[in-house]
Amino acid sequence: MASSLAIFGVVMALGMLSYGAEARAFFVFGDSLVDTGNNNYLATSARADSPPYGIDYPTRRPTGRFSNGLSIPDYISQKLGAEPTLPYLSPLLTGQKLLVGANFASAGIGILNDTGVQFANIIRMPAQLLNFQQYRRRLSAQIGPQRTKQLVNQALVLLTVGGNDFVNNYYLVPFSARSRQFALPDYVRYLISELRKILLKMYDLGARRVLVTGTGPLGCAPAELAMRSRNGECAAELQRAAALYNPQLIQMLRSVNSQLGSDVFVAANVQETRNDFIKNPQAFGFTTSKIACCGQGPYNGLGLCTRASNLCPNRDLYAFWDAFHPSEKGNRLIVENIMTGDEKYMYPMNLSTILALDSRN
């Protein structure tokens, strides 16, 4: 009996090693657009762990995703032919699951550490990177340092951060500390310079293929329409912020790639994708891109999405699920552009090109 158990253990270990060699790991960093449940384990108000969140998820239960169903990382995992990455804080992230990768994102965070202070206990970017280092140590204990380095170098990484630095910092309240410190163009330059430091730290930790998303059209979210719009027009100041930030992000990524001598960082211009929804929602099968499916008040844009909120019967008809986040269908369309979009959406290449190039190496 003991010998058969020993053989079974060897077979399992070999299976885990072969799986790690064949599958491409996927790591996710950022905010609520990509958090798949880390904040469930934290004492914070920035959580999506109660209904009707998850109403269209396969289990029909809330998972911590700020969506009615699947999120952007889920759809990217599908494109990689992999199972979804687990939240880093999940107790299920052990053994073979570590080889799939991990999601380190935390709702409410930004590029800056003072973004999202109202949410108290959230995992800001320095802590996300510390968790990534801890993940590497855990994986190294399982498969060895050389295999761990190889897995991380060959992994795909997604970073979605920046929107909260505007909506939950600079524009959170009139005369915010950051708006008194910086004029908007100077603030954008400061954000870009701080993000550059984060990217170079990720590179130092082994990341070699990183998708970096820009902000969406910040002024067009139902929350901003409810607070700042008179006739359904997008909030001009937030739109100006996005228009300043996204081109400078692409310029900075180009500069970093030049410095590194490789296209490590790839810009995903989700502002353009979501602009398409907003300008012509019917072309994508949406009836509205202004009203959230779940919420209350004008445009269903005030407060949180809860059991007491208005809830649309068909989520696929809404570009926005709640006051800030795309619906599951919106997330799927964003990932389709990440996969196959031209340089308007993806710079310097889309994810399909990345996967084809990397498969030859």
CA pair distance 107, 124, nearest whole angstrom: 9
Select which of 31, 32, 67, 165 is catalytic. 32
**30 assigned to some structural domain:** yes
* DSSP conformation letters of 267-309: EE-HHHHHHHHHH-GGGGT-SBSSS-SEEBSGGG-BS---TTS
- For residue 249, the model assigns a pLDDT of 98
CB 301 within 8 A of CB 223: yes
Q: What's phi and psi for 156, nearest 5 deg?
A: -95, 140
CB 211 within 8 A of CB 159: yes
- For residue 4, the model assigns a pLDDT of 37
**294 assigned to some structural domain:** no
**84 assigned to some structural domain:** yes
165 is catalytic: no
32 is catalytic: yes
Region for residue 22 given its phi and psi (left: phi exceeds 0; alpha: psi -120 to 50; beta: otherwise): alpha
Strand partners, 156: 26
Select which of 35, 74, 263, 322 is catalytic. 322
Q: 125-143 vs 184-204: helix axis angle to the nearest 10?
A: 10
Domain at 350, CATH number:
3.40.50
- What's the predicted TM-score (pTM) here? 0.93
The DSSP letter of residue 83 is P
Closest CA to 306 of 130, 30, 49: 49
**13 assigned to some structural domain:** no
**241 assigned to some structural domain:** yes
**83 assigned to some structural domain:** yes
CA pair distance 76, 92, nearest whole angstrom: 21
Dihedral sign, Cα of residue 181, residue 186, residue 191, residue 193 = negative
- Owner of token pair 């369309």: 333
- For residue 10, the model assigns a pLDDT of 36
**19 assigned to some structural domain:** no
- For residue 13, the model assigns a pLDDT of 38
Number of structural domains found in the chain: 1
322 is catalytic: yes
Q: Is 100 helix (H, G, I), strand (E, B) or coil?
A: helix
What is the span of the domain harbouring residue 137? 24-269+342-360
Strand partners, 27: 102, 157
- For residue 23, the model assigns a pLDDT of 66
Select which of 35, 77, 309, 325 is catalytic. 325
* Per-residue pLDDT tens digits of the chain, which is 361 residues long: 443 333 333 333 333 333 333 569 999 999 999 999 999 999 999 999 999 999 999 999 999 999 999 999 999 999 999 999 999 999 999 999 999 999 999 999 999 999 999 999 999 999 999 999 999 999 999 999 999 999 999 999 999 999 999 999 999 999 999 999 999 999 999 999 999 999 999 999 999 999 999 999 999 999 999 999 989 999 999 999 999 999 999 999 999 999 999 999 999 999 999 999 999 999 999 999 999 999 999 999 999 999 999 999 999 999 999 999 999 999 999 999 999 999 999 999 999 999 999 988 6
**331 assigned to some structural domain:** no
CA pair distance 126, 295, nearest whole angstrom: 32
CA pair distance 287, 277, nearest whole angstrom: 10
Q: Is 46 helix (H, G, I), strand (E, B) or coil?
A: coil
